Amino acid sequence: MSRIVVTGGAGFLGSHVCESLFARGDHVVVVDNLVTGDLANLEHLAGRPGFAFVQADVSRVLPVDGPVDAVMHLASPASPKDYLELPIETLEVGSRGTQLALELAREHDARFFLASTSEVYGDPQVHPQPETYWGNVNPVGPRGVYDEAKRFAEALTMAYHHRHGVDVRIVRIFNTYGPRMRPQDGRVVSNFLVQALTGQPLTIYGSGEQTRSFTFVDDEVRGILGLLDSSYVGPMNIGNDGEFSLNELARLVLEVTNSGSEIVYEPLPVDDPTQRKPDLTLARSTIGFEPRVALREGLVLTAAYFARRLGL
């Protein structure tokens, strides 16, 4: 049993990570300012022995008392809609927030785990993307606030490892979806499912020929815990290496929701990556990771969640 601090634990992915840690017997301290998170995501853990919640902006303070065996830094706006509305806050939580989380780990001689992103590859010119690819990011474009924050966070994490001997893990997460996403979060899976379920048009940005690799949250969390428990230091891709165009995703969403919604095409956001797919060789060979939930199956499960949440 370990006592693990999870920044951003009230968010979509963080709440699932906390649940899995708790289920295996770890104690969990969530630190979150609720900027994009929701306490309702943690209501089944609240009040249980071994679980604690601290409301704080981790770019300013990280007030945790007692023993700490690991610090998992997941706090950050993650949806493009959110980080475009919170550009400075996103840069702060990736830089100052990451440093405070690393200092907490260093103080307790604890393991540090960083939630990084496939966005470090930007609009990739190597496909699929292995961890050795350095990426193609526009630092001054609108997405730069997120991409560069995460790239800085990775650099800082490795600097604490080399300079101070902190035991670190870095996961590069590829588009993850599932229950507890906010209906208005702005990401494509939540947008399409909510639109399909409520009879509104599905909004495809650009031609819809850009691709993404979508990971169901249970697979992502299993990979995250596998990496946390491993001895591998350095970035590791965790995702699903199925690759779908947005046009294919829209058709699949209409099919699984049995929706008659039409599809409309809207302008492509600036610097929107044209393709994205993880090279999972490292994850497979190092921690035996294999995604299990196919996109269709994951969409069915997520559609059921949105239908319940929207009272349909």
Q: How far is the CB of 299 from ligand NAD (least distance, A)?
A: 15
Beta-strand relationship, 215-216 and 70-73? unpaired
95-116 per-residue burial string, b: 16 or more CB within 10 A, e: under 16: bebbbbbbbbbbebebbbbbbb
**Binders in 15-34 for ligand UDP, by CB under 6 A:** none
**Choice from 173, 204, 224, 246 touching ligand NAD (CB under 6 A):** 173
Q: For ligand NAD, which is the closer residue by CB, 57 or 218?
A: 57
Size of the site for ligand UDP (CB under 6 A): 13
* 81 SS3 class: helix
Closest to 18 in 3D by CA, of 51, 49, 40, 48: 51
Q: How far is the CB of 90 from ligand NAD (least distance, A)?
A: 8
**Is 121 assigned a catalytic role?**
no
Q: How far is the CB of 246 from ligand UDP (least distance, A)?
A: 5
User: How is the beta sheet containing 51-55 ordered, strand by strand?
Assistant: 51-55, 27-32, 3-7, 70-73, 111-117, 168-173, 235-238
* 261 SS3 class: coil
| Residue where the block lists tokens 């995703």 | 249
Catalytic residue among 83, 121, 146, 177: 146
Q: How far is the CB of 258 from ligand NAD (least distance, A)?
A: 26
Positions marked catalytic: 146
Which residues of the chain form contacts with ligand NAD (CB under 6 A)?
7-8, 10-14, 32-37, 57-59, 74-78, 93, 97, 115, 117, 173, 175-176
Enumerate binding residues for ligand UDP (CB under 6 A): 80, 175, 187-188, 191, 203-205, 210, 212, 246, 269, 272
